[in-house]
Copies of this chain bind each other. A is one copy, B any other.
Amino acid sequence: MRAERTRAAILGAAVHLGSLRGLGELSIGGLASTVEMSKSGLFAHFGSKEELQLATVTQAWHIFEEEVVPFPREGIDPSLEALLERWLSFFERKVLPGGCFFVIAAVEFAGLDGPVNDALARALEDQIAAIEAAVRVANESGELPAGKDPSGTAFALHSILVNANSVFVVRGDRGVLDDARVAIGELLGRPQGSREALVAPHA
């Protein structure tokens, strides 16, 4: 039980550090000094740098899924706009404090073979698929402007989300998240110029 709590605390620090400074920078030695444990203490929980990185990706994805992805759950609005608003809010609250954890790390690990790269590539595809699924539902129920290409729209929406977070992190100014809301509103054929939340929070 104590070992599980320790592991969870280490992983929390690993997600934070990996998000801020890049997953590739995450090593057992570097993390040990952050959590004030010995390297051998950390090795007892994660047998290698790769194992630590993989557990960090899994933990980051759990956090993202819990906060953002619209799997059927009581009290969660399954609409496209609610999904996009949860995603922007996730960035705005700096739940993972760096750039978009999965895209940045997936680019960093692209071309390297191994389970970390595989997990990151899968997370990126799962992100795009989650938006595509919500776009298709919105398209079928007539919420999108006529004649929109659903997968092109989903790709554009994913791009705006990820880039908004990149620019937010670089500028340190949340205004770009509202720019993203304007761009998303235009893409979805909503009245122009709204910088409000896409849906009321917790709707």
Instruction: Tell me the A residues contacting B by CB distance below 8 Å.
Output: 20-22, 24-25, 98-99, 103-104, 106-108, 110-111, 120-121, 124, 128, 147-149, 151-153, 155-156, 158-160, 162-164, 166-167, 169-172, 176, 179-180, 182-183, 186-187, 192-193
Residues of B within 8 A of A193 (CB): 149
Closest CB in chain B relative to A123 CB, distance in Å: 10
A155 near B166 with CB under 8 A, answer: no
Neighbour of A170 across the interface among B22, B107, B172, B182, CB < 8 A: B107
A155 near B183 with CB under 8 A, answer: yes
Neighbour of A153 across the interface among B99, B128, B148, B183, CB < 8 A: B183
Residues of B within 8 A of A124 (CB): 166-167, 170
Closest to A103 in B: B166
Q: How far is the CA of A98 from the CA of B128 in the complex (A)?
A: 20
Residues of B within 8 A of A148 (CB): 186
B121 near A171 with CB under 8 A, answer: yes
Q: A22-B22, A103-B163, A155-B164 are in contact. List 18 more A-B contacts (CB 8 A).
A: A21-B108, A98-B107, A99-B107, A99-B108, A103-B166, A106-B166, A121-B170, A124-B167, A147-B192, A151-B179, A152-B182, A153-B186, A155-B180, A155-B183, A156-B156, A159-B183, A163-B163, A187-B187
